[in-house]
């Protein structure tokens, strides 16, 4: 089971906003100039957005994006003007957290993510139930899915003091 848009949701929690209480919109659903495939747009936006939390400025963000993008899967060109336009779109769509982009906030978000992960793992280890983690998702025995889902929600509430989270 995977947390949906975890670092964006954690960024909103940092500014006291429960994202899923105010909207059900996918935070990565934005157009990208020159890209017509909606799934590609989402993945490209997600990459730029998440890297943006870790970058110190736009130029380092754009460089990191170009280094991280899988050009085999996403065979597009991203000159600065296209990335700048997408970054502006992200900031316009998410004005309450736009100040966290190119601020180095990613480390704080990773710490929150790690605390949530630790919370969930601890509860499974206490019961000697195997659990694996992959980024912000977990793998447990099939019959433990409901318990995992409840614990993931509990971990989010524990770390953020907010109740609404999406996990799939």
Residue 89 backbone dihedrals phi, psi, to 5 degrees: -60, -40
What is the dihedral angle through the alpha carbons of 97, 51, 86, 92, rounded to the nearest 10 degrees? 0
In angstroms, the CA 124 to CA 35 distance is 42
- What's the average model confidence in pLDDT over 121-150? 95
The pair of structure tokens assigned to 154 is 């509990």
On the question of pLDDT at 166 being above 90, the answer is no
Q: At CB < 8 A and 24+ separation, what contacts does 95-99 make?
A: 96/12, 96/15, 96/17, 97/8, 97/11, 97/12, 97/14, 97/15
In angstroms, the CA 8 to CA 19 distance is 9
Q: Specify the pLDDT at position 135.
A: 84
On the question of pLDDT at 38 being above 90, the answer is yes
- What's the average model confidence in pLDDT over 29-39? 97
Q: Specify the pLDDT at position 90.
A: 98
Q: Specify the pLDDT at position 72.
A: 96
The band of 164, judged by pLDDT with boundaries at 50, 70 and 90, is low
């Amino acid at each position: 089971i995977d947390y949906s848009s975890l670092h964006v949701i954690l960024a909103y929690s940092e500014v006291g906003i429960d994202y899923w209480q105010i909207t059900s919109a996918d935070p990565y659903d934005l157009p990208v100039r020159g890209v017509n495939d909606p799934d590609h747009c989402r993945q490209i936006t997600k990459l730029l957005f998440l890297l943006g939390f870790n970058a110190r400025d736009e130029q380092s963000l754009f460089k990191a994006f170009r280094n991280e993008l899988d050009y085999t899967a996403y065979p597009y060109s991203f000159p600065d003007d296209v990335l700048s336009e997408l970054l502006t779109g992200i900031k316009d769509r998410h004005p309450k957290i736009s100040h966290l982009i190119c601020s180095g906030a990613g480390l704080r978000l990773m710490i929150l993510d790690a605390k949530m992960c630790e919370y969930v793992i601890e509860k499974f280890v206490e019961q000697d139930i195997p659990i694996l983690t992959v980024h912000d998702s977990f793998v447990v025995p099939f019959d433990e899915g409901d318990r995992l889902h409840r614990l993931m929600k509990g971990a989010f509430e524990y770390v953020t003091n907010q109740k609404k989270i999406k996990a799939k």
